Structure 1
Amino acid sequence: MHNPVVSTRLFGPYLTTETGGAAILDRPENAAAIENVVASAPAEYVGDADAVIVEDEPAGVTFADLGLSGALLESITSVGYEVPSTIQERTIPALLAGQDVIAQAQTGSGKTAAFGLPIIETIESRKGGVQALILCPTRELAIQVSEALQKFGRHKRIETLPIYGGQPYERQLRGLQRGVEIVVGTPGRVMDHMRRGTLHLDNLKFFVLDEADEMLDMGFVEDIEWILQQVPAERQTALFSATMPPRIADLARKYMKDPQRIQVRGKEMTVAETNQVFYEIPRQRKVDALTRILDAEVPSPGIIFCRTKHGVDELGESLMARGFAVETLHGDLSQVQRDRVMRRFRAGQADILIATDVAARGLDIDNVSHVINFDIPESVETYVHRIGRTGRAGKTGTAITLVTPRESRWIRSIEKFTKARVEQKRLPSASDVNDRRRDVLKSMVVNVMKDEESYNAYLQPIRDLAEDHDAITIAAAVLKLYAVETGRDTTAVQKDDDVATFSGSTFGGSGGGRNDAGMVRLQIDIGRNFHVRPQDLVGAIANEANIPGRSIGAIDILDTYTFVDVPEDTAQRVIDALNNASVKGKSVTAELSTEPAASGRSGGGGGRDRGPRPARSGGGGGGYRGGRREERPYRPSGPGGQRPQGGGNHYSARRDEEARGGAGGTRNAGGGQRFDSQRGPRRDRP
């Protein structure tokens, strides 16, 4: 039977007495043609008459305004969400009111939170088994949705389990037997568990179809219908889809009760002047990858976006420790601090601004050469807003996005939305970085030569040298001195065959600029008792001794003193500078330590009283996987032994993705903190 709303909107002018009226839509010979027309029609023509069609413009409400509890708001804040998207504004209140919902919005518009938050708000922990079932078309999406819901449910102790094909049944069985409130799965594996009697849905309260149109394209409709026939009739149902093909509309009419229909009509946006690229990087290697990209791209200036305030601070510390001039901007800064950050950035005192989306709203910064998405944004609209800060006034810009393998499907949504290709690139090699540094040096020299007065004072020393040396040799030596002083030494980047490779891209752990050969260890009489941080020491050494921050090696912070590794040829300069300087308001004394630098020890690292520590293999992130943080024994990054007592806390950024809190064991008394500037930021605890 034809849908009267579709009939009126699409075929109304043709349904006359002469053509046979609406009856022609019911003729079998016309069925295929009619379905094709409906499937290709804009969504507003095939929706129902009572559908709420809204433009994708958030109304300015907060998550608290949507009726969510304090515990859930705490979880939302912890994952970095600050304001709801349009689909969340419209859907959350309807689901909290107990209504069935059909929601149409583009992929990347925040649909997971739109259905996940009201589910977590409504169901109860440890009350009656599985209470919500969410079907997804792919295992990648099932994992992604499950991880998001697990974070949302943290403060209400709501457990989520993904079940999908390709994963051993035993692992899924253990999770189901342990007891979970939410199951996220692909149709085939969900059916398998239901038939085996291992997935019980007697107490199901919520049923969600996510990306229903994709499930139709993949041939899952019959499976979905079978599952719908087995679950309790007294349930709440939500259907999310970018489009509404007739077959999906039929499912909705058959299995949903008076659903509220919400359609968010996305704005068409283009980014014609921006070159968009992405790199696929394992999560635990993103900081290392970003470092090499920055070395190769040399943004001037550039903006890096993170999703959370904590992420901004962590990334800022990591990049400062590697010698980059950065400023950070997020919602915890006062207006005075915010103004100071922007003043320094606009004045060129920092090359890179790291910011959250909300903190960056309203910023008007000219000549931004690069926008880098360290974390993918919550929605494709946010992505466009981010990268719109480059490629302005007829100038071209570059937008770089770092995605994990699980996030790579998100790139397709960007391409559809922006109608532009996002090119996947290989990470720059050591040769690429060196070539880029040479180009920068050449450009700087040419610019200086355009202003004769700026270099007149240096002509006579060059003439004196030219009496005994070739002019080309003199120029090369001067460039070498300048490059070493500024951290642009093209000989300092590790060779590709000395470092690890991943994701089809040659990559080195150092990120360039630092060469561990020829390092010595200094001891400075300030430590954790003065709340000193690695960036405090890096800043003091770099500024007072006039050496590039990225040449500074490992930093071991103990209670009353700190070890710092520096290049041997700059050690005396650093000692002299620090002995006439202060750190955190305290005058300090620096001297050569009897301990070798981290790179010169047996096993390649460790701190005071630690004993030998196994060398990292290409910077890999091995170690213990799984278990709660406090239950796991310490293992260093790479193969090998345990930390002896007295070794202290090892704050290393390169943490296993599954462990998510690092491999640190219990806190040992008497030790120090270790910050390795070669590594990225710590991950949040689950």
Structure 2
Amino acid sequence: MLDMGFLDDIEAIIAKVPAERQTLLFSATMPKAILNIGEKFMTDPTTVKIKAKELTTDLVDQYFVRARDYEKFDIMTRILDVQAPELTIVFGRTKRRVDELSKGLEARGYNAAGIHGDLTQQRRMTILKKFKAGQLDILVATDVAARGLDISGVTHVYNYDIPQDPESYVHRIGRTGRAGHHGTSVTFVTPNEMDYLRVIEKLTKKRMEPLKPPTAKEAFAGQVASALAEIDDLVAKTDDDKYADQAQVLLEKYDAQTLAMALLNQMTKDDASQVPVKITPERPLPRRRNSGKRNGYRGNNKWRKDNRGSRNDWRDKKRGGDRNKKDRSRDRFERRQKGGKRNFTIRTKQD
């Protein structure tokens, strides 16, 4: 939120409050940038940490799906069809990713919108208001835009991109499983990002369960089940007297089964592969290096650093004394000026 411009508002508010005051700063994590802000606006602040055995709640079922970047969108839409979440947040790593995901979901019939730092404050507030009111099913957001969101009723969190910072994962899935309600999180991981998944599991002290991507048939079955539930709600809300005459005309023209199939066809979406959506591949995260020592000469950087000087000294002595590179270059230049080519002695068999 501070990256999105709220720091100026904070400074404006603090400028109006009394000099003698008590200031408290709460955050799930305290990175260096936040600590610097605390020191700027506080006098001799004291840090209070609450250590928990687990950073994530047992009320959130945590899964991961291993897939290549170009496969993730189709797999995610099928999972959405099968799990049928009520209120969902999808996290993307970049602003471009958020824009493409939200537009792609809309193209496939999902009620979705995205927020990030490039949107105006009014636009962000409008989208969040719709999401809180249940008028929006899927909110696509970056980590920065989603920080500090207090929205109840979020049932699912989808990490389309695994975060590079493990603490960001804690913030993400913390949007669900609140106030005693159950939640589900699904993280998409490419094969070269499995090391990041293990680091997150080490931080949260909880193992993620692998989730098998659903097939097109399973996704369609999920769509039909959701459509049937929506039809039940529609029937309960329908004014029978208002449409009685029009319904009778339709029944005389079509049989009940044909009308029911037409309604289901209208309320279900096509398979994920039927509507083409282009998601630009993001630059892959750098591979995490093993913290252990590497074997072999190339890994022994300390030996190379300590002995580089002695090796150079030995080379200089072989060349005729303790001279630096500049001296040797000057000698070569002077030889060329005096006699041009260097003299060589050719030995024959008679010699």
TM-score range, shorter chain: 0.5 to 0.7
How many angstroms does 1:432 deviate by?
0.8
| 8 Å Cα contact 1:287-1:679 kept in structure 2 | no
**Counterparts of 1:333 and 1:404, CA distance in 2:** 29
| 8 Å Cα contact 1:286-1:680 kept in structure 2 | no
Which residue identity lines up with residue 483 of structure 1 in the other structure?
L
How many angstroms does 1:402 deviate by?
0.3
Counterpart position of 1:457: 242
Aligned counterpart in structure 2 of residue 480 of structure 1, from 243, 249, 261: 261
| 8 Å Cα contact 2:105-2:112 kept in structure 1 | yes
- How do 1:336-375 residues align onto structure 2 when only pairs under 5 Å count? 336-375=122-161
Which residue identity lines up with residue 297 of structure 1 in the other structure?
Q
Aligned counterpart in structure 1 of residue 30 of structure 2, from 50, 58, 73: 58
Which residue identity lines up with residue 327 of structure 1 in the other structure?
A
- How do 1:80-159 residues align onto structure 2 when only pairs under 5 Å count? none
Counterpart position of 2:346: none
Secondary structure of the structure 2 residue equivalent to 1:399:
strand
Counterpart position of 1:289: 75
**Counterparts of 1:310 and 1:464, CA distance in 2:** 50
Task: Rate the CA distance shift 1:384–1:479 in 2: closer, same or farther, 3 A.
Answer: farther
Task: Rate the CA distance shift 1:276–1:464 in 2: closer, same or farther, 3 A.
Answer: same
Provide Cα deviations, 1:593-620, integer angstroms capped at 9, x if missing partner.
xxxxxxxxxxxxxxxxxxxxxxxxxxxx
Task: Rate the CA distance shift 1:430–1:363 in 2: closer, same or farther, 3 A.
Answer: same
Task: Rate the CA distance shift 1:459–1:440 in 2: closer, same or farther, 3 A.
Answer: farther
Task: Rate the CA distance shift 1:454–1:415 in 2: closer, same or farther, 3 A.
Answer: farther
Secondary structure of the structure 2 residue equivalent to 1:377:
coil
- How do 1:171-182 residues align onto structure 2 when only pairs under 5 Å count? none
**In the alignment, does 2:168 pair up with 1:389?**
no
| 8 Å Cα contact 2:157-2:185 kept in structure 1 | yes
Provide Cα deviations, 1:313-371, integer angstroms capped at 9, x if missing partner.
23223333333332111112221121122123233343211111111111111211210
Aligned counterpart in structure 1 of residue 223 of structure 2, from 431, 437, 448: 437
| 8 Å Cα contact 1:305-1:356 kept in structure 2 | yes
How many angstroms does 1:271 deviate by?
1.8
Counterpart position of 2:289: none
Provide Cα deviations, 1:374-402, integer angstroms capped at 9, x if missing partner.
11113332212211111222221110100
Per residue, is there more strand in 1 or in 2?
A: 1
Aligned counterpart in structure 2 of residue 400 of structure 1, from 186, 195, 214: 186
Which residue identity lines up with residue 292 of structure 1 in the other structure?
R
Which residue identity lines up with residue 58 of structure 1 in the other structure?
M
**Counterparts of 2:162 and 2:112, CA distance in 1:** 20
**Counterparts of 2:188 and 2:60, CA distance in 1:** 16
Counterpart position of 2:280: 681
Secondary structure of the structure 1 residue equivalent to 2:113:
strand
**In the alignment, does 2:223 pair up with 1:422?**
no
How many angstroms does 1:450 deviate by?
3.6
**Counterparts of 2:200 and 2:247, CA distance in 1:** 54
Give the TM-score of the pair, scaled to structure 2.
0.60
| 8 Å Cα contact 1:371-1:390 kept in structure 2 | yes
Per residue, is there more helix in 1 or in 2?
A: 2
Which residue identity lines up with residue 175 of structure 2 in the other structure?
R
| 8 Å Cα contact 2:164-2:196 kept in structure 1 | no
Task: Rate the CA distance shift 1:303–1:685 in 2: closer, same or farther, 3 A.
Answer: closer
| 8 Å Cα contact 1:377-1:383 kept in structure 2 | yes
- Higher RCO (CA < 8 A, seq sep 6+): 2
| 8 Å Cα contact 1:269-1:418 kept in structure 2 | yes
Secondary structure of the structure 1 residue equivalent to 2:80:
helix
Which residue identity lines up with residue 413 of structure 1 in the other structure?
V
**Counterparts of 1:461 and 1:268, CA distance in 2:** 59
Secondary structure of the structure 1 residue equivalent to 2:33:
coil
**Counterparts of 2:201 and 2:241, CA distance in 1:** 52
**Counterparts of 1:295 and 1:288, CA distance in 2:** 11
Secondary structure of the structure 2 residue equivalent to 1:457:
coil
How many angstroms does 1:440 deviate by?
0.9
Which residue identity lines up with residue 458 of structure 1 in the other structure?
Y
Counterpart position of 1:378: 164
Task: Rate the CA distance shift 1:410–1:333 in 2: closer, same or farther, 3 A.
Answer: same
Task: Rate the CA distance shift 1:478–1:313 in 2: closer, same or farther, 3 A.
Answer: same
| 8 Å Cα contact 1:318-1:681 kept in structure 2 | no
Instruction: Give the % identical residues.
Output: 37
Secondary structure of the structure 1 residue equivalent to 2:105:
helix
**Counterparts of 2:165 and 2:106, CA distance in 1:** 29
Secondary structure of the structure 2 residue equivalent to 1:327:
strand
**Counterparts of 1:405 and 1:440, CA distance in 2:** 32
CA RMSD, 1 decimal: 3.3
**Counterparts of 1:480 and 1:685, CA distance in 2:** 44
Task: Rate the CA distance shift 1:354–1:459 in 2: closer, same or farther, 3 A.
Answer: same
**Counterparts of 2:189 and 2:202, CA distance in 1:** 17
**In the alignment, does 2:106 pair up with 1:320?**
yes
**5+ residue gaps, structure 2:** 1-26, 38-50, 286-351
Larger radius of gyration: 2
How many angstroms does 1:423 deviate by?
1.4
**Counterparts of 2:72 and 2:248, CA distance in 1:** 48
Provide Cα deviations, 1:551-590, integer angstroms capped at 9, x if missing partner.
xxxxxxxxxxxxxxxxxxxxxxxxxxxxxxxxxxxxxxxx
**Counterparts of 2:283 and 2:146, CA distance in 1:** 23
Aligned counterpart in structure 2 of residue 332 of structure 1, from 101, 118, 121: 118
Counterpart position of 2:298: none
Task: Rate the CA distance shift 1:325–1:381 in 2: closer, same or farther, 3 A.
Answer: same
**In the alignment, does 2:198 pair up with 1:412?**
yes
Provide Cα deviations, 1:191-239, integer angstroms capped at 9, x if missing partner.
xxxxxxxxxxxxxxxxxxxxxxxxxxxxxxxxxxxxxxxxxxxxxxxxx
**Counterparts of 1:336 and 1:424, CA distance in 2:** 39
Task: Rate the CA distance shift 1:455–1:416 in 2: closer, same or farther, 3 A.
Answer: farther
**Counterparts of 2:251 and 2:108, CA distance in 1:** 37
How many angstroms does 1:302 deviate by?
0.7
| 8 Å Cα contact 1:287-1:681 kept in structure 2 | no
**Counterparts of 2:102 and 2:224, CA distance in 1:** 26
Task: Rate the CA distance shift 1:430–1:455 in 2: closer, same or farther, 3 A.
Answer: farther
Secondary structure of the structure 2 residue equivalent to 1:408:
helix
Which residue identity lines up with residue 230 of structure 2 in the other structure?
M
